[in-house]
Protein backbone atom coordinates (compact mmCIF):
# COMPACT_ATOMS: atom_id res chain seq x y z
CA UNK A 1 0.00 0.00 0.00
CA UNK A 2 1.43 3.33 -1.07
CA UNK A 3 0.68 6.66 0.69
CA UNK A 4 -1.62 7.46 -2.24
CA UNK A 5 -3.46 4.15 -1.74
CA UNK A 6 -3.86 4.85 1.96
CA UNK A 7 -5.11 8.37 1.28
CA UNK A 8 -7.71 7.00 -1.12
CA UNK A 9 -8.77 4.36 1.42
CA UNK A 10 -9.24 7.06 4.06
CA UNK A 11 -11.16 9.25 1.63
CA UNK A 12 -13.49 6.35 0.82
CA UNK A 13 -14.07 5.71 4.54
CA UNK A 14 -15.02 9.34 5.15
CA UNK A 15 -17.34 9.26 2.13
CA UNK A 16 -18.98 6.11 3.52
CA UNK A 17 -19.45 7.80 6.90
CA UNK A 18 -21.13 10.71 5.14
CA UNK A 19 -23.33 8.37 3.08
CA UNK A 20 -24.33 6.46 6.22
CA UNK A 21 -25.31 9.71 7.97
CA UNK A 22 -22.62 9.21 10.61
CA UNK A 23 -20.85 12.36 9.55
CA UNK A 24 -22.51 15.56 8.37
CA UNK A 25 -19.86 17.18 6.17
CA UNK A 26 -19.11 17.61 2.51
CA UNK A 27 -17.19 14.56 1.29
CA UNK A 28 -13.49 15.46 0.87
CA UNK A 29 -11.78 15.21 -2.50
CA UNK A 30 -8.51 14.26 -0.85
CA UNK A 31 -7.15 13.19 2.53
CA UNK A 32 -3.69 14.28 3.74
CA UNK A 33 -1.32 11.47 4.68
CA UNK A 34 2.12 12.19 6.13
CA UNK A 35 5.00 10.29 7.64
CA UNK A 36 5.01 10.72 11.44
CA UNK A 37 7.71 12.99 12.82
CA UNK A 38 8.33 10.75 15.83
CA UNK A 39 9.64 7.21 15.38
CA UNK A 40 7.34 4.53 16.73
CA UNK A 41 4.16 6.39 15.80
CA UNK A 42 3.34 4.07 12.92
CA UNK A 43 4.05 4.22 9.21
CA UNK A 44 1.76 7.15 8.40
CA UNK A 45 -0.37 9.71 10.15
CA UNK A 46 -3.35 11.81 9.10
CA UNK A 47 -5.07 14.87 10.54
CA UNK A 48 -8.29 14.35 8.59
CA UNK A 49 -10.37 14.28 11.80
CA UNK A 50 -9.07 17.71 12.79
CA UNK A 51 -9.94 19.11 9.36
CA UNK A 52 -13.47 17.75 9.54
CA UNK A 53 -14.16 18.70 13.17
CA UNK A 54 -15.23 22.30 12.55
CA UNK A 55 -17.60 21.69 9.61
CA UNK A 56 -18.98 18.57 11.31
CA UNK A 57 -19.37 20.41 14.66
CA UNK A 58 -17.99 17.40 16.48
CA UNK A 59 -14.86 16.78 18.56
CA UNK A 60 -11.99 15.59 16.36
CA UNK A 61 -11.42 12.55 18.55
CA UNK A 62 -14.97 11.32 17.90
CA UNK A 63 -14.42 11.58 14.15
CA UNK A 64 -11.02 9.92 14.46
CA UNK A 65 -12.53 6.98 16.37
CA UNK A 66 -15.19 6.52 13.70
CA UNK A 67 -12.60 6.52 10.91
CA UNK A 68 -10.27 4.24 12.87
CA UNK A 69 -13.02 1.67 13.49
CA UNK A 70 -13.54 1.21 9.75
CA UNK A 71 -9.86 1.44 8.84
CA UNK A 72 -9.02 -1.42 11.21
CA UNK A 73 -11.14 -3.71 9.01
CA UNK A 74 -8.72 -3.26 6.11
CA UNK A 75 -6.35 -6.23 5.85
CA UNK A 76 -3.56 -3.93 4.65
CA UNK A 77 -3.61 -2.17 8.03
CA UNK A 78 -2.19 -3.84 11.13
CA UNK A 79 -3.06 -1.13 13.62
CA UNK A 80 -4.58 2.31 14.09
CA UNK A 81 -4.04 4.50 17.16
CA UNK A 82 -6.02 7.64 17.92
CA UNK A 83 -3.57 10.12 19.36
CA UNK A 84 -4.20 13.25 21.36
CA UNK A 85 -6.04 15.88 19.40
CA UNK A 86 -7.53 13.41 16.95
CA UNK A 87 -4.50 12.41 14.89
CA UNK A 88 -4.58 8.90 13.46
CA UNK A 89 -1.31 6.94 13.57
CA UNK A 90 -1.48 4.05 11.14
CA UNK A 91 0.64 0.91 10.91
CA UNK A 92 0.57 -1.10 7.72
CA UNK A 93 0.69 -4.88 7.58
CA UNK A 94 4.18 -6.04 6.57
CA UNK A 95 3.01 -7.53 3.27
CA UNK A 96 1.09 -4.37 2.36
CA UNK A 97 4.04 -2.15 3.28
CA UNK A 98 6.39 -4.18 1.10
CA UNK A 99 4.16 -4.19 -1.98
CA UNK A 100 5.50 -0.81 -3.08
CA UNK A 101 8.86 -2.46 -3.84
CA UNK A 102 7.15 -5.05 -6.01
CA UNK A 103 5.12 -2.36 -7.78
CA UNK A 104 8.24 -0.33 -8.61
CA UNK A 105 10.23 -3.29 -9.92
CA UNK A 106 7.24 -4.51 -11.88
CA UNK A 107 6.97 -1.07 -13.53
CA UNK A 108 10.68 -1.14 -14.34
CA UNK A 109 13.04 1.65 -15.31
CA UNK A 110 10.17 3.84 -16.51
CA UNK A 111 8.57 4.03 -13.05
CA UNK A 112 9.91 7.47 -12.11
CA UNK A 113 9.31 8.92 -15.58
CA UNK A 114 5.73 7.63 -15.61
CA UNK A 115 5.13 8.91 -12.08
CA UNK A 116 6.45 12.33 -13.05
CA UNK A 117 4.31 12.41 -16.20
CA UNK A 118 1.18 11.43 -14.28
CA UNK A 119 1.72 13.81 -11.38
CA UNK A 120 2.79 16.83 -13.43
CA UNK A 121 0.45 16.67 -16.42
CA UNK A 122 -2.37 18.28 -14.48
CA UNK A 123 -0.04 21.10 -13.45
CA UNK A 124 0.96 22.00 -17.00
CA UNK A 125 4.55 20.85 -16.55
CA UNK A 126 6.39 18.68 -19.05
CA UNK A 127 8.82 16.17 -17.45
CA UNK A 128 12.37 17.21 -18.29
CA UNK A 129 11.29 20.87 -18.43
CA UNK A 130 11.05 22.37 -14.93
CA UNK A 131 8.81 25.25 -15.98
CA UNK A 132 5.09 25.29 -16.75
CA UNK A 133 4.02 25.03 -20.37
CA UNK A 134 2.69 28.39 -21.44
CA UNK A 135 5.23 30.33 -19.37
CA UNK A 136 6.46 32.44 -22.27
CA UNK A 137 9.36 33.94 -20.35
CA UNK A 138 10.91 30.55 -19.71
CA UNK A 139 9.61 28.97 -22.90
CA UNK A 140 11.73 31.44 -24.81
CA UNK A 141 14.81 30.00 -23.13
CA UNK A 142 14.25 26.38 -24.09
CA UNK A 143 16.18 26.73 -27.30
CA UNK A 144 19.48 28.43 -27.94
CA UNK A 145 22.52 29.04 -25.77
CA UNK A 146 21.15 31.33 -23.09
CA UNK A 147 23.29 30.01 -20.21
CA UNK A 148 21.98 32.60 -17.76
CA UNK A 149 18.39 31.70 -18.58
CA UNK A 150 19.31 28.04 -18.35
CA UNK A 151 20.55 28.41 -14.81
CA UNK A 152 17.42 30.28 -13.78
CA UNK A 153 15.25 27.70 -15.53
CA UNK A 154 16.94 24.84 -13.69
CA UNK A 155 16.84 26.43 -10.24
CA UNK A 156 13.93 28.82 -10.31
CA UNK A 157 16.27 31.56 -9.11
CA UNK A 158 15.79 35.21 -10.03
CA UNK A 159 19.52 35.93 -9.69
CA UNK A 160 21.54 36.98 -12.73
CA UNK A 161 24.33 34.42 -13.21
CA UNK A 162 26.13 36.64 -15.76
CA UNK A 163 27.26 39.10 -13.09
CA UNK A 164 30.90 38.24 -12.40
CA UNK A 165 32.06 37.60 -8.85
CA UNK A 166 35.29 36.57 -7.13
CA UNK A 167 34.74 32.80 -7.29
CA UNK A 168 36.94 32.19 -10.30
CA UNK A 169 33.95 30.99 -12.33
CA UNK A 170 32.88 33.27 -15.15
CA UNK A 171 29.71 31.50 -16.26
CA UNK A 172 27.84 28.22 -16.48
CA UNK A 173 30.16 26.88 -19.17
CA UNK A 174 33.10 27.51 -16.86
CA UNK A 175 31.36 25.59 -14.08
CA UNK A 176 30.74 22.61 -16.38
CA UNK A 177 34.34 22.53 -17.57
CA UNK A 178 35.56 22.70 -13.96
CA UNK A 179 33.39 20.08 -12.27
CA UNK A 180 31.76 18.13 -15.11
CA UNK A 181 28.23 18.02 -16.46
CA UNK A 182 26.74 15.77 -13.78
CA UNK A 183 28.07 17.74 -10.82
CA UNK A 184 27.11 21.05 -12.43
CA UNK A 185 23.56 20.01 -13.27
CA UNK A 186 22.91 18.36 -9.92
CA UNK A 187 24.42 21.18 -7.90
CA UNK A 188 22.33 23.78 -9.70
CA UNK A 189 19.16 21.69 -9.48
CA UNK A 190 19.46 21.25 -5.71
CA UNK A 191 19.66 24.99 -5.01
CA UNK A 192 16.38 26.34 -3.61
CA UNK A 193 14.87 29.17 -5.65
CA UNK A 194 15.73 32.73 -4.68
CA UNK A 195 19.33 33.47 -3.82
CA UNK A 196 19.08 37.02 -2.45
CA UNK A 197 20.76 38.45 -5.53
CA UNK A 198 23.68 36.02 -5.57
CA UNK A 199 24.68 34.16 -8.70
CA UNK A 200 23.65 30.52 -8.59
CA UNK A 201 27.14 29.33 -9.47
CA UNK A 202 28.54 31.39 -6.60
CA UNK A 203 26.47 29.34 -4.15
CA UNK A 204 28.17 26.10 -5.16
CA UNK A 205 31.08 24.88 -3.05
CA UNK A 206 33.59 23.64 -5.61
CA UNK A 207 35.65 21.91 -2.94
CA UNK A 208 32.64 19.83 -1.91
CA UNK A 209 31.29 18.83 -5.33
CA UNK A 210 34.68 17.78 -6.68
CA UNK A 211 35.34 15.45 -3.75
CA UNK A 212 34.44 11.75 -3.86
CA UNK A 213 33.04 11.65 -0.35
CA UNK A 214 29.69 11.48 1.39
CA UNK A 215 29.73 15.23 1.87
CA UNK A 216 29.29 15.58 -1.88
CA UNK A 217 25.54 15.21 -2.55
CA UNK A 218 25.78 14.05 -6.17
CA UNK A 219 28.49 11.53 -5.26
CA UNK A 220 26.38 10.23 -2.37
CA UNK A 221 23.36 9.63 -4.61
CA UNK A 222 25.34 8.15 -7.51
CA UNK A 223 27.34 5.97 -5.12
CA UNK A 224 24.14 4.53 -3.65
CA UNK A 225 23.08 3.60 -7.19
CA UNK A 226 26.42 1.99 -8.06
CA UNK A 227 26.44 0.17 -4.72
CA UNK A 228 23.13 -1.47 -5.58
CA UNK A 229 24.32 -2.31 -9.09
CA UNK A 230 27.36 -4.06 -7.58
CA UNK A 231 25.10 -5.93 -5.17
CA UNK A 232 22.93 -7.16 -8.04
CA UNK A 233 26.00 -8.20 -10.06
CA UNK A 234 27.32 -10.16 -7.08
CA UNK A 235 23.91 -11.77 -6.68
CA UNK A 236 24.02 -12.82 -10.33
CA UNK A 237 27.38 -14.48 -9.79
CA UNK A 238 25.75 -16.54 -7.04
CA UNK A 239 22.95 -17.53 -9.37
CA UNK A 240 20.48 -15.23 -7.65
CA UNK A 241 18.17 -12.75 -9.30
CA UNK A 242 15.26 -10.47 -8.54
CA UNK A 243 12.05 -12.48 -8.45
CA UNK A 244 9.40 -9.81 -8.84
CA UNK A 245 6.34 -11.98 -8.28
CA UNK A 246 7.85 -14.64 -6.03
CA UNK A 247 9.55 -12.46 -3.43
CA UNK A 248 7.90 -12.59 0.00
CA UNK A 249 7.71 -8.92 0.93
CA UNK A 250 6.03 -9.72 4.25
CA UNK A 251 9.53 -10.63 5.49
CA UNK A 252 10.66 -7.00 5.23
CA UNK A 253 10.07 -6.24 8.91
CA UNK A 254 13.43 -4.78 9.98
CA UNK A 255 13.18 -1.07 10.97
CA UNK A 256 15.72 -0.13 8.29
CA UNK A 257 13.66 -1.97 5.69
CA UNK A 258 10.58 -0.09 6.83
CA UNK A 259 12.45 3.21 6.57
CA UNK A 260 13.49 2.39 3.00
CA UNK A 261 9.99 1.32 1.95
CA UNK A 262 8.51 4.53 3.34
CA UNK A 263 11.18 6.57 1.56
CA UNK A 264 10.28 4.87 -1.73
CA UNK A 265 6.66 5.76 -1.09
CA UNK A 266 7.56 9.45 -0.84
CA UNK A 267 8.59 9.74 -4.50
CA UNK A 268 5.19 10.84 -5.91
CA UNK A 269 4.90 13.53 -3.23
CA UNK A 270 8.39 14.87 -4.01
CA UNK A 271 7.75 14.96 -7.75
CA UNK A 272 4.35 16.60 -7.32
CA UNK A 273 5.78 19.28 -5.01
CA UNK A 274 8.65 19.96 -7.42
CA UNK A 275 6.18 20.46 -10.27
CA UNK A 276 3.62 22.48 -8.34
CA UNK A 277 6.16 24.81 -6.75
CA UNK A 278 8.53 24.85 -9.72
CA UNK A 279 11.26 23.56 -7.39
CA UNK A 280 13.54 20.86 -8.86
CA UNK A 281 15.58 20.98 -5.66
CA UNK A 282 12.84 18.97 -3.96
CA UNK A 283 13.64 16.01 -6.22
CA UNK A 284 17.36 16.36 -5.51
CA UNK A 285 16.86 16.55 -1.76
CA UNK A 286 14.50 13.56 -1.93
CA UNK A 287 17.18 11.53 -3.75
CA UNK A 288 19.72 12.43 -1.08
CA UNK A 289 17.37 11.26 1.66
CA UNK A 290 16.65 8.05 -0.23
CA UNK A 291 20.38 7.42 -0.78
CA UNK A 292 21.12 7.99 2.91
CA UNK A 293 18.28 5.66 3.88
CA UNK A 294 19.64 2.96 1.57
CA UNK A 295 23.18 3.31 2.98
CA UNK A 296 21.78 2.81 6.49
CA UNK A 297 19.82 -0.25 5.32
CA UNK A 298 22.90 -1.66 3.58
CA UNK A 299 24.96 -1.25 6.74
CA UNK A 300 22.80 -3.45 8.96
CA UNK A 301 20.71 -5.68 6.67
CA UNK A 302 22.74 -8.38 4.93
CA UNK A 303 21.28 -9.12 1.54
CA UNK A 304 23.46 -11.91 0.15
CA UNK A 305 24.31 -15.14 1.99
CA UNK A 306 27.80 -15.53 3.41
CA UNK A 307 30.18 -18.34 2.53
CA UNK A 308 28.36 -21.59 1.92
CA UNK A 309 25.11 -20.40 3.49
CA UNK A 310 22.05 -20.98 1.34
CA UNK A 311 19.98 -18.07 0.17
CA UNK A 312 16.65 -17.87 1.95
CA UNK A 313 13.38 -16.12 1.27
CA UNK A 314 14.65 -12.99 3.05
CA UNK A 315 17.44 -12.73 0.47
CA UNK A 316 14.85 -12.57 -2.31
CA UNK A 317 12.80 -9.94 -0.51
CA UNK A 318 15.84 -7.75 0.13
CA UNK A 319 17.04 -8.08 -3.45
CA UNK A 320 13.64 -6.84 -4.59
CA UNK A 321 13.85 -3.90 -2.17
CA UNK A 322 17.35 -3.03 -3.35
CA UNK A 323 16.34 -3.17 -7.01
CA UNK A 324 13.32 -0.93 -6.35
CA UNK A 325 15.67 1.59 -4.74
CA UNK A 326 18.01 1.39 -7.74
CA UNK A 327 15.14 2.11 -10.12
CA UNK A 328 14.02 5.19 -8.17
CA UNK A 329 17.54 6.56 -7.77
CA UNK A 330 18.30 6.12 -11.47
CA UNK A 331 14.98 7.57 -12.56
CA UNK A 332 15.32 10.55 -10.23
CA UNK A 333 18.82 11.32 -11.48
CA UNK A 334 17.67 11.08 -15.09
CA UNK A 335 14.79 13.42 -14.26
CA UNK A 336 17.42 16.00 -13.32
CA UNK A 337 19.49 15.28 -16.42
CA UNK A 338 22.21 13.51 -14.40
CA UNK A 339 23.69 10.10 -15.21
CA UNK A 340 23.26 7.03 -13.01
CA UNK A 341 26.59 5.17 -13.30
CA UNK A 342 26.70 1.45 -12.65
CA UNK A 343 30.38 1.59 -11.68
CA UNK A 344 32.49 4.25 -10.00
Average confidence (pLDDT) over 150-172:
41
CATH of range 3-92; options 3.30.1360.70, 3.90.1150.10, 3.40.50.300, 3.40.50.720: 3.30.1360.70
DSSP annotation string for 12-39: HHHHHHHHTTS--SPPPS----B--SST
CATH of range 98-344; options 3.50.50.60, 1.10.730.10, 1.10.10.10, 3.40.30.10: 1.10.730.10
Reported confidence tier of residue 216, pLDDT bands at 50, 70, 90 = confident
Average confidence (pLDDT) over 58-66:
95
More confident residue, 237 or 214: 237
Average confidence (pLDDT) over 198-219:
66
Q: Is the pLDDT of residue 175 over 70?
A: no
200/154 Cα distance (integer angstroms): 10
246/223 Cα distance (integer angstroms): 28
Reported confidence tier of residue 186, pLDDT bands at 50, 70, 90 = confident
Residue 127 to residues 112, 132, 253, 264, 333, Cα–Cα distance (Å): 10, 10, 35, 19, 13
Q: How many residues would you count in the chain? A: 344
List, by residue range, all CATH 1.10.730.10 domains of the chain. 98-344
- pTM for this model (two decimals): 0.79
More confident residue, 211 or 258: 258
pLDDT of res. 305: 92
pLDDT of res. 34: 92
Amino acid sequence: MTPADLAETLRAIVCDLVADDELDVEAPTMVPVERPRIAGHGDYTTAIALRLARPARRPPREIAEAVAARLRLDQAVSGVDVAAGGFLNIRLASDARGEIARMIVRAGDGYVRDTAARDTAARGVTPGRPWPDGDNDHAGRRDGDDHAGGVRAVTGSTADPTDLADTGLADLADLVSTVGTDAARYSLARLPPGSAGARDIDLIDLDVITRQANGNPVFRVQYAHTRICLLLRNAGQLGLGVDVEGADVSLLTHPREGDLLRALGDLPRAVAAAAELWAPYRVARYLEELADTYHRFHGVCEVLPRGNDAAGALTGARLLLADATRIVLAGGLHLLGVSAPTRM
